[in-house]
A and B are shown apart, each in its own frame.
Chain A
Amino acid sequence: MKEKLQNKIDTSDIAGAEVHEFVTLNVGPTHPATHGVFQNVMTMDGEYIVDAKQTIGYIHRAFEKIAERRAYYQILPLTDRLNYCSSPINNMGWHMTVEKLLGIEIPKRVQYMRVIIMELARIADHNVCNSVVGVDTGALTGFTYMFQEREKIYEIFEEICGSRLTTSIGRIGGFERNWGDRAWTKLRAFMKSHPARLKEFEALLTRNRIFLDRTIDVGPISAEQALNYGFTGPNLRAAGVDYDVRVANPYCSYEDFDFIVPVGTHGDTHDRFSVREAEMWESMSIINQAIAKLDAMEDKSTFNADSDEFVLPAKEKVYNNMEALIFHFKQVMGETAVPPGEIYSAVEGANGELGFYVVSDGGRTPYRVHFRRPCFIYYQAYPEMIKGSLLSDAIITMSSMNVIAGELDA
């Protein structure tokens, strides 16, 4: 990339060539090619990028401040709006953080159900990201097909929790209710039909000459640089570091599952794309394993932990019994005592390590909540990755990094 700048035609003997000007170009804040509110002030030398400066914060909503005034149950909807392409992972990450703080043991069945939800969300997120990389290289077709697949995943979420994009799925200690038959039917149907669609999508792009030319060696980052910049998730793995929170610090019984961590070699756009594709196959395999484990279990009814103090009472009780209603209200408003403590808990989000740092002083709301948002940390490497490359390559680099505005700005 940087060589390209130096390899340009020698213009020293052309009259007037010494009058050499850089052009400042604003990409964003609202630009159709950036998929979100991102502004980049780029210094251009013709078609080549000399320097770039990101401006972020356009959709900052002060989640950390709001969280200091909300009871633990009420912070759940805020987490939806971090990486909104895979809200269920954020939701589960938050539940697990609070459960860790409270010391609640989660039954195996619930853990496996959570694994299914999180892996579905990962597939949805990777599908969006990879198909958008396709769009930015000029292949719109794959995108329309993959959005249809995402729709099916959202229908499963809808059956389970009633909402699609900002799911607020699950509750502290488990789920709000057991999954209905329709959810299971839809899940099994999806697991059956999706592999063919994914193969079809891969057939469109993975050996496509145009796609390969547009992505290989575009926006590369070395493993060393990536680690120094705090990269996590598929972007770090594309650079060749096999760090995955699911393996390094297993949560939610991920140690019971057999899966590989795909890694790339160059950390370029093509590697990021390939790592995500490979991860989707792994996710499919994890879900199949989880379904098999759940099918083998005799217990078909447990959907939350056995902890009266923190787990919400059953809905039938809440609607028919005064005490249960009051207790439900008290729990949601944070009247149950949370022990003082300090905790960091992380899950493997769809684009990296999503961490929650919570300080509790024993009050009804957390004293301090900090969200470790993976893309806030790795997006700062963007100028370094695109310096010396073409503007059109910068667009693909950005979409392949899976930078989500909601998470970036929190």
Chain B
Amino acid sequence: MFALNNEIVSLTSEKLRSKFGEELLSEETIMDMPAYTFKKECIADVLRFLYDDETLKYRFLTDLCGIHYPDNELQFGVIYHLHSMENNQRIRLKVFAALNDINVPTATTVFKGANWMERETFDFYGIVFTGHPNLERILNVADMDYFPMRKEYPLEDGTREDKNDDFFGR
């Protein structure tokens, strides 16, 4: 379990609330990590704000990845894990986008390391990061015409009849 630095966490929430108001959709603490959901348009500003703040100093992007909830209206999520090394506090940010409006502002303006992580997210989920310097597929072949981590693509061929999979897997 990561130790929660309560002072910093409440300060983070306070500052985010006062700075972003309506654009901060929800906040909660999931197990040992505070999580904030934002409207996708403002995520680059949020990252920049948290980076520049003199006390919070969330200056390390630990991880960036995508997630797909096919039943939600805003199907696609991007999840950021930030780390304030000086305060030793980690937080999680989330933004969600709909299939017909699948673009999220890039984090590469704040963190150079976001470059490949966003390319990976694009590669697997098709989430377009606007303003990204080089948004190409990274792990899959360039001429692939679908986004394999989306939930509609099963891991195995669903038409196979020689194998009863009812008891295994999802």
Contact = CB atoms under 8 A, between A and B. Distances in A.
Interface of A: 56-57, 60, 62, 64-66, 68-70, 100, 225, 227-231, 241, 243, 248-249, 333, 341-344, 346, 353, 355, 357, 359, 363-365, 368, 370, 372, 376-381, 409-410
Given A357-B79, A368-B67, A372-B62, A342 B149 contact: no
A380 B116 contact: yes
Interface string B10-45: 000000000000000000001101010000000000
Interface of B: 1-3, 30-31, 33, 35, 59-63, 65, 67-68, 79, 81, 85, 88, 90, 92, 111-117, 120, 124, 138-141, 148-149, 155-156, 167-170
Contact of B155 (A69, A228, A376, A381): A69
A353 B113 CA distance: 14
Contacts of A341: 30-31
Contacts of B85: 227, 241, 243, 248
Nearest to A250: B3
Given A364-B169, A364-B170, A365-B170, 8 more contacts: A57-B138, A64-B124, A249-B3, A333-B167, A342-B30, A363-B170, A370-B65, A381-B113
A335 to B, nearest CB: 10
B62 A68 contact: no
B61 A248 contact: no
A228 B1 CA distance: 25
Contact of B148 (A56, A65, A69): A65
A228 B92 contact: no
8 contacts: A333-B167, A353-B62, A357-B65, A370-B65, A372-B81, A376-B116, A378-B113, A381-B112
Contacts of A363: 170
A199 to B, nearest CB: 34
Contacts of B61: 230
A230 B113 CA distance: 5
A65 B124 CA distance: 10
Nearest to A227: B60
Nearest to B141: A57
Contacts of B169: 69-70, 364-365
Contacts of A357: 63, 65, 79, 81
A317 to B, nearest CB: 24
Contact of A69 (B60, B124, B170): B170
Contact of A248 (B35, B88, B111, B116): B88
A343 B29 CA distance: 11
Contact of B31 (A56, A57, A100, A376): A100
A62 B156 CA distance: 12
Contacts of A353: 62
A359 B149 contact: no
A344 B33 contact: yes
B36 to A, nearest CB: 13
Given A60-B139, A68-B155, A344-B81, A380 B115 contact: yes
Contacts of A410: 139
A341 B169 CA distance: 19
B88 A230 contact: no
Nearest to B134: A53
Contacts of B88: 248-249
A385 to B, nearest CB: 12
B49 to A, nearest CB: 17
A344 B92 contact: yes
Nearest to A224: B59
B100 to A, nearest CB: 22
A191 to B, nearest CB: 31
A57 B138 CA distance: 7
A85 to B, nearest CB: 20
Nearest to A359: B67
Nearest to A356: B63
